Chain A
Amino acid sequence: MTALVLAPHGTSPADRLKDAAAVAFIALLLGIPMIGLLTVDQGGALRVATRWPTLFAFVAICFTGRLILRLAIDRLRAAKQARERSDVELAAADRTASPWLTWIGWAALGVALALPMVFSENRYVVDTATTVLIYVMLGWGLNVVVGLAGLLDLGYVAFYAVGAYTYGLLSTQFGWGFWQALPVAGAIAASFGILLGWPTLRLRGDYLAIVTLGFGEIIRIILVNWTELSGGPNGIASIARPSFFGLPFKPPGDEATFASFFGLEYSTNHRIVFLYYLILALALLTNLFVSRMRTLPIGRAWEAIREDEIACKAMGINARNVKLSAFAIGAMLGGFAGVFFAARQGFISPESFTFNESAIILAIVVLGGMGSQLGVVLASLVLVLLPELGRDFAEYRMLLFGAAMILIMVWKPGGILSHREPTLRYRANGGRR
């Protein structure tokens, strides 16, 4: 009793032994019929055979396993408490921006810039990195809706699809180029964001999630069934690839190409590397835009809506407009990513815009730490690279993926980076800003 009072969160070795013994006992009870007894076919009749040594080995494994697990949990918990205590102390000491986070951010940018130069001949690496960056951009876009405004959106892929199909149609039907279509697709995706936002203004949390999930499916089903517009399940093919300021990436011919203009030997890798730098630039612009918006009145209002909508109304904030702007801007960024996706693939079909994609993008935001820009990058790396690395494990790949997600959530319930940086400070480095 005293031990409990003195150490409510920790357990003594005796407690751990008792706990492990209880688990071993349950294992024994379950194990007798499941492991201890075995039916064997003996001359046409079923006989019961016993396997006591195997059973005892099983019970012993359960006992030690539980002991180790308990010990590990207690260790982690103690470490976490120590960390939280120091966090409180640091907060009390009015700490400024954690410098190592900024440092990691710059290092990540350096790596991202250098990557295609180092791996210029390795198409697989650059392609995978491009995929990571698409998810980073989508994550940053969804972060506005989910991380900042706190509106749980399970249908984000719909805006990605709207962007991709807008460019696909503009390109194949009207011959528009990538750069012309980009703002138009963004605007159309944003208006779809408002279209979704309008009926869901009164909803929050679970209910909002269900409606947005439905919206995502509606868009996909329309794309599958409206064959005249979208090509149905066959999708849209031969979408124009982006060119380098008017110079296409083609084998040498009559017209000037990227390779001929710069006097390079033609290589298919040129386009791959260009696409990589293009999405890097788009993602960085997105990051700059979202980070800047966060420190503006509208960004603070997004966060305030997440924190307490009623208090916002009492402060004279029009919650409807604030929510719609979050939906619109999140959707616009998703639309931009969609345009890039269509341009990169050259072919789009409803297959690419399933609920699974929405779930992965949401997982990136949640795992990264709601509202954290750098967290999104780390989570995208984990969620895209893990299935890639897991290819060797064949059918266990998704299992591995799920286990990693669970581990991250257990280890860091607030996401990989859950620290929130204030948008403005009274004391910045000792004085006024």
Chain B
Amino acid sequence: MSQPAPLLSVERLTMRFGGLLAIDDLSLDVAARRITGVIGPNGAGKTTFFNCLTGFYKPTVGSVRLNHPQRGVLRLETLASHQVARSAQVVRTFQNIRLFPQMTVLENLIVAQHNALQQASRFSLAGLLGLPGYRRAETAAMEKAVGWLQRLGLIDKADTAAGALPYGMQRRIEIARALCVDPLLLCLDEPAAGLNPRESAELNELLKHLAGVEGIAILLIEHDMSVVMNVSDHICVLNYGRKIAEGSPAEIQRDPNVIKAYLGEEEADELGSDEEHRPEGVQ
């Protein structure tokens, strides 16, 4: 497979919290229209890495460059978290789902389109007066939200409060909400955590569809190897904040460093039979 020019290039990223080195000199390229998996044991710095990409943390050292097709090269580490989503179209989900629980599923997806709608409402004036320009924008936002809800099989729950729905559904709502921001790069933090095997399989299909058909690059943190090995085009393995391996799923499965990090030296032979690592504390 020929590698297209990278959409995102992370160079020598280091994140230090006092004496703790959470990410140590990490460099990584993320290709457009591909799924890049980020795996590693608990505490390896995966979520910290996401926080650095999406503006929630300012990295101590290093740069994160995004090749935006319209806006040129953007330095994500200089942007605030909302600008990362708005200007760079890098959108994330959260390990411990963060929906707007009292708002309906549809409202959650409309809120994600806030910037476009706010612009159409002209500081709420056009909205207050109900001018046709704003109404058109609202209808378009509704259609986009409804489209994703239908695609993800959530349309029956459109008018239900998001917090009242089961866990697996909330995961899908969070992905649908992120998709409403029109991401170039979608960063998913353990989207399969707490899903049953059937839901995991559906997630695999969805991720492949998003990357292959919709052309959205995906950066995927996941412990569920049935998902990561199945959908990833490229995998990066972190341990104690360092990149210990990088390559295709097949290469990663054979990599002695990875086997050592995950299983310890003695049990290294049993990798094939122990593919489902579930993170702790997840139902």
Query: Which residue of the partner chain, among A293, A317, A420, A423, contacts B114 with CB atoms under 8 Å?
Result: A317
Q: Using CB atoms, name the residue of chain A closest to B163.
A: A307
For chain A, give the interface size range: 20 to 34
Least distance between B210 CB and chain A CB atoms (Å): 18
B85 touches A424 (CB 8 A): no
Q: Is residue A47 contacting chain B, with contact meaning CB distance below 8 A?
A: no
Complex-state Cα separation, A313 to B112, whole angstroms: 10
Least distance between A90 CB and chain B CB atoms (Å): 11
Least distance between B124 CB and chain A CB atoms (Å): 5
Complex-state Cα separation, A304 to B80, whole angstroms: 19
Residues in A whose Cβ lies below 8 Å from that of B101:
307-308
A304 touches B106 (CB 8 A): no
B82 touches A319 (CB 8 A): yes
A300 touches B114 (CB 8 A): yes
Complex-state Cα separation, A316 to B80, whole angstroms: 9
B91 touches A424 (CB 8 A): no
* Interface SS, A side: helix
Complex-state Cα separation, A318 to B80, whole angstroms: 9
B-facing mask of A400-427, CB < 8 A → 1, else 0?
Answer: 0000000000000000000010111111
A427 touches B102 (CB 8 A): no
Q: Is residue A348 contacting chain B, with contact meaning CB distance below 8 A?
A: no
A316 touches B98 (CB 8 A): no
For chain B, give the interface size range: 35 or more
Within 8 A of A (CB), among B85-138: 85-86, 91-94, 98-104, 106-107, 110-112, 114-115, 117-118, 121, 124, 127-128, 138
A314 touches B54 (CB 8 A): yes
Q: Using CB atoms, name the residue of chain B closest to A298.
A: B124
Q: Is residue A292 contacting chain B, with contact meaning CB distance below 8 A?
A: yes
Query: Which residue of the partner chain, among B83, B127, B177, contacts A315 with CB atoms under 8 Å?
Result: B177
Least distance between B142 CB and chain A CB atoms (Å): 7
B164 touches A91 (CB 8 A): yes
A317 touches B115 (CB 8 A): yes
B159 touches A315 (CB 8 A): no
- Give the interface of B toward A (CB within 8 A): 54-56, 80-86, 91-94, 98-104, 106-107, 110-112, 114-115, 117-118, 121, 124, 127-128, 138, 142, 146, 149, 155, 158-161, 164, 177-178, 181
Some 9 contacts from A to B, beta carbons below 8 A apart, are A297-B118, A300-B110, A300-B114, A310-B94, A312-B111, A314-B54, A314-B91, A315-B82, A424-B142
